[in-house]
Structure 1
Amino acid sequence: MNISGNTIFLPGGTSGIGLGLAQRFAAAGNTVIVGGRRRELLDQITRDNPGIEGVYIDTADAQSIVDVSAEVQRRWPATNVLIAMAGIMRPENLHSADFLAAAEATVTTNLLGPLRLIAAFGSFLAGQQDAAIMTVSSGLAFTPLAHTPTYNATKAAIHSFTEILRLQLADTSVQVIELVPPAVQTELQGSASATNPHAMPLDAFLTEVMGLLESQPEAHEILVENVKPLRFAAVNGTYDQVVGMLAASR
């Protein structure tokens, strides 16, 4: 993926990693269309960041994805990169059936959302000369966190799906990239997670990601150093140790 000269659609870009990437990509010379559910944030982002456009989209709503994807393709026909960013992370206690509502919402947003976006954009992007789809999994796809079981599972599914997507799209112009974040200081789990001392500062994460994209334009996975202990725990023989460490950090 080229680091500049793209037109990027980034649903889930109104906060955290998504917004940070949108700003970094815009600064690198890309046209960026941010999608999100909070209209006031979209208005603020487009006002404060010249060069970033905003569209309302609810990635938990199948029809919203269909409608807004068509709108983006119509209004920005040069769109050649999709970054399926939107996600939620909720704790679940599996001792009780009460976990099910959080689990269903997580599957809808974290798994069905990206799949629906890819379905809506796949053929369109295959018609572009230089295109890319970036999925967003997590280090927890490889080494799970005890109190977020469905989050871990959806991210593991995204990893597996991305691997097969890459194989099936090998005969097209679409590059498939998986971004694998570690814990990053954002409000994904509420305000406390934004200052979690065990998480990577957002600016440091973004800087490393952009550097990897620039230095490894053909990369399949974008792995910052902080995520490698999770990504390769099974390979390194440290899986049980790292799972225990994550569980104790709760």
Structure 2
Amino acid sequence: MDISGNTIFIPGATSGIGLALALALRDRGNTVIVGGRRTELLDEIAAAHPDLDTVSIDTTDPASIATAAETVLARHPDLNVLVAMAGVMRVEDWRSPETFLASAEEVVTTNVLGPIRLIGAFVEHLTKRPDATIVTVSSGLGFVPLRVTPSYNASKAAIHMLSESIRLQLAETGVRVVELVPPAVRTGLLPGQETSEFAMPLDEFVAEVVSLLETRPDATEIQVERVKFLRHAEARGDYDQVVATLNAADPHAAT
């Protein structure tokens, strides 16, 4: 995707990677709309960054997605980039069904159904734009599992294959599909992750992502250097060693 001159909607951008990416893309000359379900955070963002538009959206609720899409397209009919950023991560113990079922359902609803519904709400509009992009967000853990987060790992593997598949279907349209593959980043995704030495500083991650978007405009995956240890483990032939290393390390070693 071109790094400037776009109109970009990023649901799930009231904090963490989403907000940092929204600000970085705004600084590169894009019109950016931030979405989130916590209205108090949207109000704070609007006050601190009046050049960002904000839209209330709960990506676990199909009706909220439909309403938000209608609002975004009414305000920004030139929208040409959707970044399906919203996601949650939960530590689960699958030896105790009463402790993991509700968590697993929440993760799948947010991380898999959320992006599917978002893409469904915008894809018809995007196919009518001359140059459009859908950005999905998977994870290094979609390629190598972290023992304590089974549903999250599975959800991100699903997003990877979804991205691969819809890219094939949209190949004859003007819509590109770009998969962002983060490593662990210092955000509040899990308790303690914001200060974890195993996680990549947020500003460094976003700066590298923006640089990759600029220097590799035709890339189908955006992989910072820190995620390649996980992303290419199977291809390198050291998958078992990478699984062991990851799971012997800090629980925030990758997200």
Shorter-chain TM-score category?
Answer: over 0.9
1:135 aligns to what SS in structure 2? strand
Amino acid at match of 1:242: V
Shift of 1:50: 3.0
Look up the match of 1:120: 121
| Structure 2 counterparts to residues 237-248 of structure 1, below 5 A | 237-248=237-248
Look up the match of 1:147: 148
Cα-Cα RMSD: 0.7
Paired with 1:84 and 1:239, the residues of 2 have a C-alpha distance of: 28
Look up the match of 2:226: 226
Look up the match of 1:31: 31
2:83 aligns to what SS in structure 1? strand
Asked if 1:188 corresponds to 2:179, the answer is no
Paired with 1:51 and 1:185, the residues of 2 have a C-alpha distance of: 26
Aligned residues: 249
| Residue identity (%) | 58
Look up the match of 2:80: 80
Moved more, 208-217 or 47-56: 47-56
Paired with 2:127 and 2:114, the residues of 1 have a C-alpha distance of: 20
Look up the match of 2:133: 132
Look up the match of 1:172: 173
Amino acid at match of 1:108: T
1:45-73 CA distances to partner (integer Å, 9 max, x unpaired)? 11111321101000011111111111111
Look up the match of 1:108: 109
Amino acid at match of 2:189: L
Shift of 1:28: 0.5
Moved more, 144-153 or 235-244: 235-244
Amino acid at match of 1:164: S
Paired with 1:67 and 1:238, the residues of 2 have a C-alpha distance of: 46
Amino acid at match of 1:59: T
Moved more, 115-124 or 42-51: 42-51
What is the TM-score of this pair, normalised by structure 2? 0.96
Paired with 1:66 and 1:107, the residues of 2 have a C-alpha distance of: 19
1:79-136 CA distances to partner (integer Å, 9 max, x unpaired)? 1000000000000000011200000000000000000000111110000111000000
What is the TM-score of this pair, normalised by structure 1? 0.98
Amino acid at match of 1:80: N
Amino acid at match of 1:217: P
Paired with 2:52 and 2:74, the residues of 1 have a C-alpha distance of: 17
Paired with 1:93 and 1:231, the residues of 2 have a C-alpha distance of: 25
Please list every run of at least 4 consecutive aligned residues from structure 1 whose deviation after the TM superposition is greater than 6 angstroms: none
1:19 aligns to what SS in structure 2? helix
Paired with 1:128 and 1:74, the residues of 2 have a C-alpha distance of: 15
* Uncovered stretches (5+) of structure 1, i.e. residues with no partner: none
